[in-house]
Amino acid sequence: MDVESSAAHEVSVDWRGRPCEPGRHGGMRAAVFVLGIQAFEIMAIAAVGNNLITYVFGEMHFPLSEAANVVTNFVGTIFLLSLLGGFLSDSYLGCFWTMLTFGFVELSGFILLSVQAHLPQLKPPPCNMASMDGSCEQARGFKSSIFFVALYLVALGSGCLKPNMIAHGGDQFSGSDNAKSLSTYFNSAYFSFCLGELVALTALVWVQTHSGMDVGFGISAAAMAAGLISLVSGAAFYRNKPPQGSIFTPIARCSSPPSPRGSKSALPILATPELASRHASPAASATATNSGSWTRRASGTRRSSRGATRSRRAHGGCARCPRCSRPRPSSP
């Protein structure tokens, strides 16, 4: 039974739910598309995260301490939401559909950030925050709400993507024959991560500083869109592990309440009814005593019946003997 269940868990399917073909699905050819979304996604999110404090302080006019708090909360939320992404992937959606769904959520956040940074109606009036004269108006109300909605859409999408990108790439390799290819994939995944960070911290930050944050956020949105195109392009080649249902179901089964103390299953198994009556409840003791009396009467009846049978055999079945009712056989 365990072998069958483990084999069922190892079955991989394509994006339509059909069993995978070894020569067509999986391998490094499929993993390249996953590397694409990993490089583009880290490029987009790193450019926003590393230069976000400049935008919050310089254009949204938050005090420096509050701006730093906004950035740390944003980064922390991304990593906390990784738990949600892993749970949804393993239990209900699978890696591919989780990445596709929350990739569009992250893309919508980048687009909304770019729109807010571009439209003056969604930002406070420009001023010099370095003057420290208190004349700058901080973003509040609707403007602040738009900013935080866009920011946490990005956090939600990125947090649910991160635990699934590496896992989905690793799912493309199965068996001991692909151990070397799997090692190559992980090296390539780390390289794509570093390459995305390098482009984000050099080219994209430079664009944000010299061309405006609206252009920088727009480039991040374009990078995220390119990553989604890379993900969808490899859909026909992926090996997908089907979700296994909620992880809380086996936990609930294992934590079922124990049997009540006074139930029959909790009584000790004793050799005789007399011993059982000493440890059971009064009702159970009475039942055990009656059962023992009935057993003794039945045993005595059986012994009397056997004794009468032996007596009839010994006396030849004579009618004048008090033990028998048959007539005595006549003498020759």
- CATH number at 164 reads 1.20.1250.20
Give me the pLDDT at residue 317, please: 47
State residue 10's pLDDT score: 60
Q: Residue 132 has what pLDDT? A: 67
Q: Is residue 26 part of a domain?
A: yes
**C-alpha R_g of the chain:** 40
CA separation for the pair 206, 196 (Å, rounded): 15
Residue with more model confidence, 68 or 252:
68
Determine, yes or no, domain membership for 317: no
| Per-residue model confidence as pLDDT tens digits over 46-105 | 999 888 999 999 899 999 999 999 999 999 999 999 999 999 999 999 899 999 999 999
Q: Are 43 and 208 in contact (CB under 8 A)?
A: no
Please report the pLDDT score of residue 100 as a whole number.
95
Q: Rounded CA gap, 77 and 72, in Å?
A: 8
Measure the CA–CA gap between 197 and 183, rounded to whole angstroms: 22
Over range 113-134, report the average pLDDT: 85
Q: Which amino acid is at 198?
A: L
Stretch 7-15: mean pLDDT: 66
304 compared with 254, residue with greater pLDDT: 254
Higher pLDDT, 324 or 236: 236
Looking at residue 53, what is its pLDDT?
92
Cα(14)–Cα(25) distance, integer angstroms: 8
Would the pLDDT of 7 be above 60? no
Query: How many Å apart are CA 125 and CA 273, to the nearest integer?
Result: 93
Tell me which DSSP letter residue 178 carries: G
Look at residue 275 in the predicted model and tell me its pLDDT.
Answer: 43
Instruction: Give the C-alpha distances (Å, rounded to integers) separating 11 from 4, 30, 320.
Output: 11, 17, 88
288: pLDDT strictly greater than 50: no
**Given this model, what pLDDT does residue 3 score?**
40
Main-chain dihedrals φ then ψ at residue 19, nearest 5 degrees? -60, 145
pLDDT at residue 272, as a whole number = 46
SS3 state of residue 229:
helix
Burial 68-93 (b: 16+ CB within 10 A, else e): eebbeebbebbeebbeebbbbbbeeb
Q: What's the rounded mean pLDDT across residues 279-301?
A: 48
Instruction: Look at 96 and 128; give whichever has higher pLDDT.
Output: 96
Q: How many residues does the structure list for the chain? A: 332
Q: Do residues 214 and 119 make contact, with C-beta atoms less than 8 angstroms apart?
A: no
Q: CA angle, corner 93, sides to 87 and 95, nearest 5? A: 80
Residue 322 is assigned to a structural domain of this protein: no
Lowest-pLDDT range of 75-89, 203-217, 261-275, 290-304: 261-275
What DSSP character marks residue 133?
Answer: S
- Reduce the secondary structure of 180-205 to three states and give it as a string: HHHHHHHHHHHHHHHHHHHHHHHHHH
Q: Which two tokens stand for residue 68?
A: 């730093």
Least confident range from 84-98, 122-136, 271-285: namely 271-285
Residue whose pair of structure tokens reads 């930050």 in the numeric block: 205
Q: Is 240 helix (H, G, I), strand (E, B) or coil?
A: strand
Mean pLDDT of the region 222-236: 95
What is the predicted pLDDT for the residue at 175?
66
Q: Domain range spanning residue 60?
A: 9-247
- Whether residue 264 is predicted with pLDDT greater than 80 in this model: the reply is no
Convert the pLDDT of each residue in 164-223 to its tens digit.
Answer: 999 999 888 876 557 788 889 999 999 999 999 999 999 999 999 899 999 999 999 999
User: Tokens at residue 156, please?
Assistant: 């939600």
Q: What is the pLDDT of residue 157?
A: 95
Total domains in the chain come to: 1
| Token pair in block for residue 246 | 């909620």
Question: What is the average pLDDT score of the chain?
Answer: 79
Q: What are the tens digits of pLDDT across the range 21-39?
A: 877 888 889 999 999 999 9
Q: For residue 331, is it within any domain?
A: no
- The pLDDT of residue 327 is 54
How many H helices and E strands in the chain? 11, 0
Q: Is residue 125 part of a domain?
A: yes
In a domain, 232, yes or no: yes
More confident residue, 2 or 139: 139
Distance of CA 280 to the CA centre of its chain: 46
Evaluate whether residue 144 is within a structural domain. yes
pTM: 0.71
**Burial class of residue 59, CB neighbours in 10 A (0-12, 13-18, 19+):** buried
Asked if the model's pLDDT at residue 121 lies above 50, the reply is yes
